[in-house]
Amino acid sequence: MIKIILYGEDVVGFLFAFHDVSAALQRAKGKLFPFGLLDILLELRRTNTVSVNGMGILPEHQGHGGNALLYYAMGTTLLQFKQFTNVEMTQVAETTEQMRADLKNLNGVEYKNNRVYRKEI
C-alpha cells in the first residue's frame, strides 16, 4: 500500500501504509520461530487496522493538493480491501502543522504527541 506522486519522471510525494500486525508481534514476544511468523501472517488477514507510517511531499510541491490526492488514492485502495475499518497515522510529529490539520480535516482523533528534544553534548 504505497502511493507515489510523480511530476514528469520525478517522485515528488509518497504515502506508505501497511497492515497493523502489532498484536501478533506482541504475542510472539520477539520470536519469529517456531510460531511467531505464522501468527504474523495470519494477522495480515485478521487485522482491521492500517498504519500510515510515512508521508512526504517535496517542499516546492506542497500546497497544491498533493496530500489530498494521496489520501484519496489510499482511501480508494483501502475500500477495495473491505477488511479495514481503522486507519492509524503513526509518528506524526507535533511540529508538522499540515499533517495535524489533515488529521482534523479527516475527522481523526489525536491521542499521541511525538516530540523531538535536542541537547548539545
Q: What grid cell was written down for 56?
A: 512526504
Question: pTM of whole model > 0.85?
Answer: no
CATH class of 2-89: alpha beta
Taking each helix axis from N to C terminus, what angle separates 66-81 and 97-105, rounded to the nearest 10 degrees? Answer: 50
CB of 101 closer than 8 Å to CB of 66: no
- Whole-number pLDDT of residue 120: 93
d(CA 75, CA 105): 14
Give me the average pLDDT of each 10-residue run along the chain (121 residues): 89 89 82 82 86 85 85 85 81 74 78 82 90
C-alpha cell belonging to residue 38? 505464522
- Predicted confidence at residue 77, as pLDDT, reads 84
Q: What is the predicted pLDDT for the residue at 36?
A: 81
What is the number of other CB atoms lying within 10 angstroms of the CB of residue 87?
A: 17
Domain spans of the chain?
A: 2-89
